[in-house]
Amino acid sequence: MNLKEFLLVNNTIITFNRMSSSSIANIFVVDDDPINRKIVSKILAKLGFRNIYVAQNGLEMLNTVKKNNIKVSLIITDVQMPIMNGVESTQKIRLVEKFLNLKRIPIIGLSSIDRNSCLSAGMDDHIPKPLVVSKFVSILASFLPLVEP
């Protein structure tokens, strides 16, 4: 069932459709900045996603996925982080996918670096910082058909 939703951001109304099945997607938000994790998580929650996991770096995300056997639907990751950055974690994920012939997990870089750097690292798309919610929703919709901008 489609529900028409409105999200008010900076006095701009963003319209999108939310399907009740969006709650089944498992989305990881990986960023060393707790404010960025909170902002992205809140937007995802407003869009109807309920299975939102957060990590401070790529290593923490990979360990959480392994420990809890989480089937990840999408990863939104900062590129520059301590311990294991977004490029390193993306490359590790892509190696495992290739070696085990697994379905590719969409990985979106959330960073102030350019889009081409994210794509050449194996990410599927890039959301520039500072985050523009309408662009974020549009990119998210291209990977998770559960949400349409």
Domains of the chain and any CATH numbers:
24-143 (3.40.50.2300)
Task: State the pLDDT confidence band at 142, using cuts at 50, 70 and 90.
Answer: confident
Task: State the pLDDT confidence band at 20, using cuts at 50, 70 and 90.
Answer: very low
E strand spans, 10-120: 12-19, 26-30, 51-55, 74-78, 107-111
Q: CA-CA distance, 122 to 70, in Å (whole number)? A: 21
Give tens-digit pLDDT for 68-99.
888 888 999 998 888 989 899 999 899 888 88
pTM assigned to the model: 0.81
- Look at the chain and count its residues: 149
pLDDT computed for residue 16 by the predictor: 45
pLDDT computed for residue 145 by the predictor: 59
